[in-house]
């Protein structure tokens, strides 16, 4: 059942990315070009995502637990640290250079553009290098 919901969520996300035009890196890059051919459509897409996510999170957190998992997997950190700030900077720089967000690039694979495949290959290599350089800490055992 989790697989079905995962696929359905991915399909809805992909359709939303396609309908909003965010598979086109020019739209993203034009959002950052404030002094030139500025395109505010990315701000509307982000605003729409917040309009759905905020009430969704409030509703989900009122539930006793998730329907398809043992617990909610929420961040435990309460303050930004160097890893969060550094990762955010790398993400933003990559997004600004390439015009692709990793999540939006996945449905953009359907456009059969070589730039999308190159970008996603670079993202995967980056994930692998990060795991080698900074292995994830092992989760602590929770006494029962």
The full set of domain ranges for the chain reads 2-133
Counting DSSP H helices and E strands in the chain, the numbers are 6, 0
pLDDT range class, residue 140, cuts 50, 70, 90: low
Q: How many CB atoms lie within 10 A of CB 128?
A: 10
How far lies 118's CA from each of 30, 98, 102, 108, 125, in Å?
21, 10, 12, 12, 11
DSSP 66: -
Q: What is the pLDDT of residues 63-102, one digit of tens each?
A: 878 888 888 887 888 899 998 899 899 888 888 888 888 8
Residue 96 pLDDT: 82
Q: Per-residue pLDDT averaged across 115-130, rounded? A: 90
Q: How many CB atoms lie within 10 A of CB 116?
A: 21
Give the DSSP letter string of the chain.
-HHHHHHHHHHHHHHHHHHHTTTSHHHHHHHH-TTSS--THHHHHHHHHHHHHHHHHHHHHHSSS-SSSSS-------S--HHHHHHHHHHHHHHHHHS--HHHHHHHGGGT-HHHHHHHHHHHHHHHHHHHHSPPPPPPPPP-
pLDDT range class, residue 143, cuts 50, 70, 90: low
What distance in Å separates the CA atoms of residue 121 and residue 105, rounded to the nearest whole number? 11
Whole-number average pLDDT of the chain: 85
Q: How many CB atoms lie within 10 A of CB 139?
A: 6
Q: Per-residue pLDDT averaged across 42-68, rounded? A: 88
With 80 as the cut, is the pLDDT of residue 119 above it?
Answer: yes
Lowest mean pLDDT among 16-20, 79-83, 120-124, 133-137: 133-137
């Amino acid at each position: 059942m989790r697989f079905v919901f995962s696929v359905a969520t991915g399909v809805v996300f992909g359709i939303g990315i396609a309908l909003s035009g965010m598979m086109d890196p020019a739209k993203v890059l034009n959002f950052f070009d404030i002094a030139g051919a500025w395109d505010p459509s990315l701000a509307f897409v982000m605003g729409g995502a917040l309009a759905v996510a905020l009430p969704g999170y409030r509703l989900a957190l009122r539930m006793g637990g998730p329907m398809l998992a043992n617990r909610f997997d929420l961040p435990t950190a309460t303050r930004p640290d160097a890893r969060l700030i550094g990762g955010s900077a790398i993400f933003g720089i990559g997004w600004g250079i390439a015009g692709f967000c990793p999540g939006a690039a996945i449905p953009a694979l359907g456009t059969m553009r070589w730039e999308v495949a190159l970008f996603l290959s670079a993202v995967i290599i980056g994930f692998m290098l990060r795991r080698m350089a900074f292995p994830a800490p092992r989760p602590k055992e929770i006494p029962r």
